[in-house]
Each structure stands twice: as C-alpha cells, then as structure tokens.
Amino acid sequence: MKIVVAGQGAFGVKHIEAIGNIPGIEIVSLAGGSPNSTREVAEKYAIPHWTTDLGEALKQPGVEAAILATPTHMHTSQAIQCLEAGKHVQVEIPMADCLADAERLADVAKRSGLVAMAGHTRRFNPSHQWVHKKIKAGELAVQQMDVQTYFFRRSNMNALGKPRSWTDHLLWHHACHTVDLFQYQTGETASVARAIEGPIHPTLGIAMDMSIQMKVPSGAICTLSLSFNNDGPLGTFFRYICDNGTYIARYDDLVDGKETPIDVSKVDVSMNGIELQDREFFAAIAEGREPNASVAQVLPAYQTLDRLEKSLK
C-alpha cells in the first residue's frame, strides 16, 4: 500500500518510524511545512519524494491513503482534501479545534465511503487496551478516572524542543485524549461536563492551566488536571479507580495501585501505541471496514469538548 505522510515534525516522525515496523506499507511522499526540515526528514528515512504541497503528494502514482500529523488548525481542511481526492485518511488528534469543523469532517467522511480515522492513540496503547478488555469482559467497572496531563511549555516549543509555528491547546488537543478515552472506557457519553481555567498567557494567548470534571449516566466520574506550567515529570498519567482494583497507565505501560507492574506485552502485536493505531488504519482499508477511532466514533468526544468550552464562558 502506497501512502503519504503529511507533517515533518515530532509526530510525523513517530508515524514514519512506526510504519517502518509494518510490512507492506510504503511511504512514497512526505508533505511538510518547511522545505529544509521536510527534505532532511525525507532523506533520513529514505522517502523518495517530498514537497510542501499536500495536493502534489496525493497525486503521486498509486497513493491510496494519507496520515496527517500537521498543525492542529490544518487538520479538518486537509482531511477533507484527502477524502475529496479519493484517499483514505487518518488525521492526528484533534481532528478539529471546534465542533462545527468536526461535524463537517464527519459529514464528508460519511458521504465519501472511505476510511476516515482520527489518531486517538489512547484507544490503542496496550495499557488502556488491557483495561478495556477487562471492562468488556465484565471484570472491571470504572468508578473514577483521575488524569494528569502535565507539560512545561512557557514558550512555543514542540515535543522535540524545537520552535513551533502554531500554538497548542489544553482543551481541544490534550483534553481530547482523556474525554474520548473516558467515554470509550465507560461506553457512555458524559451527562455532566464542566471546566475551569487559569490565567491566559500574555503572548501565547491560551490558558496554561485547566481543570475538568465529567460524569456519565452510570455514575462514573473523571477528574482531569492539565498544565503547561508543570516543571516536573511530563506527560499524561491515568489512574483507573475501579470496583475491582486500581490501575495506573503511563502511555504503553501499566501498574496496579501499589505500583506493581502488569505485563501487557501480549495484549497486541506491538508495545507501541502509535504503531498499533497505524496498523488499525491499514487493516481497516484492506478489510473494507470501519476502524476503531473512526471519525464517526470519536465525534461524541468533540461534542463534549464543545460543552466544556461553553462552560468556561
């Protein structure tokens, strides 16, 4: 399968490296934002064609699909561009930074008949998969998810420590992971969703701290704390407080409430959540089916994010 990757930054590289572990997939073009860095990444990973024009990349011979790891504000328009060009698409999280765009993408995806998937990686991390399988088997029920999403980003830098050309967002990007995961693990849409935020950064123009509460009809709750001001361990850490045990997920790793490691190496074919996410995308195309984390499946998360945003005003 010949594909295009769009985005030469930190997450574009994560996808390129993950795809290197998946047989039968060939990246034939890299579409980036900066000529120098795009050429550099393409040469490093032996990608035969590079461009700063996504349309040009999509026109390369034999291209069937695209993975978009571009700046957030470009996600919706580029995903629609891919679908209208007849290409299957996986767009990184968030697929939109407002509900109207998320609904517009979902509508185009439905009419296209193509595979349209959002990069909601938490659904694929072996740690969260392990918990999900236990829930589906009736062995666990979530009582509370307590989540911390902490970074130290008082300047506009990306995950590789390089200057970013766009501004990240606690609600529409980082909270999106948890909002979708909470609703996915409980199998319900939040009936209560409210948020508060700290001061707006004078130059970045975004809130640097945020607190979110959610509740689903069955009674399970989620408490989410987010910060770009945290000078300490970075990342997102999920504590599942269940009726039958407590579990802490740190990306692909899982421990119980007493920090005893849980072996999740047999949960799936890889311990890399992004690789598993990409494998699901390619499998759905090959099998002509809806993928886990399809645009349609994750749309309720964006509806909840919209309610959270309205609660801030």
Q: Are residues 278 and 254 in the same domain?
A: no
Three-class DSSP labels, 47-81: CCCEECCHHHHHCCCCEEEEEECCCHHHHHHHHHH
Q: Are residues 193 and 126 in the same domain?
A: yes
Look at strands 63-68 and 88-92 and give their pairing. Answer: parallel
CATH number of residue 170's parent domain = 3.30.360.10
pLDDT for 160 beyond 70: no
- Average pLDDT score over residue span 82-107: 98
Supply 229's token pair: 């001001």
Q: Are residues 285 and 246 in the same domain?
A: no
Tell me what the pLDDT averaged over the chain comes to: 95
Asked if residue 191 belongs to a domain, the reply is yes
Q: Are residues 161 and 305 in the same domain?
A: yes
Supply 289's token pair: 């089916």
Q: Are residues 132 and 197 in the same domain?
A: yes
The reported pLDDT for the residue numbered 251 is 93
CA distances from residue 161 to 5, 74, 237, 250 in whole angstroms, order as listed? 21, 21, 21, 21
pLDDT for 121 beyond 80: yes
Q: Are residues 168 and 257 in the same domain?
A: yes
The reported pLDDT for the residue numbered 154 is 72
pLDDT for 166 beyond 60: no
- Give the confidence band of 165 by pLDDT, cuts at 50, 70, 90: low
pLDDT for 309 beyond 80: yes
Residue span of the structural domain in which 305 resides:
122-270+300-311
- Give the confidence band of 159 by pLDDT, cuts at 50, 70, 90: low
- Give the confidence band of 234 by pLDDT, cuts at 50, 70, 90: confident
Nearest to 153 by CA among 209, 213, 108: 209
CA distance 247 to 262: 9
- pLDDT tens digits, 247-262: 999 999 999 999 999 9
> How much is the pTM?
0.94
Q: Are residues 15 and 131 in the same domain?
A: no
CA distance 260 to 31: 43
Q: Are residues 160 and 245 in the same domain?
A: yes
Q: Are residues 128 and 250 in the same domain?
A: yes
Asked if residue 295 belongs to a domain, the reply is no
pLDDT for 188 beyond 90: yes
- Give the confidence band of 124 by pLDDT, cuts at 50, 70, 90: very high
CATH number of residue 38's parent domain = 3.40.50.720
CA distance 16 to 254: 25
pLDDT for 163 beyond 80: no
**Residue 241 backbone class (left: φ over 0; alpha: ψ -120 to 50; beta: rest):** beta
CA distance 204 to 198: 14
Percent of the chain with pLDDT over 90: 89
pLDDT for 158 beyond 60: no
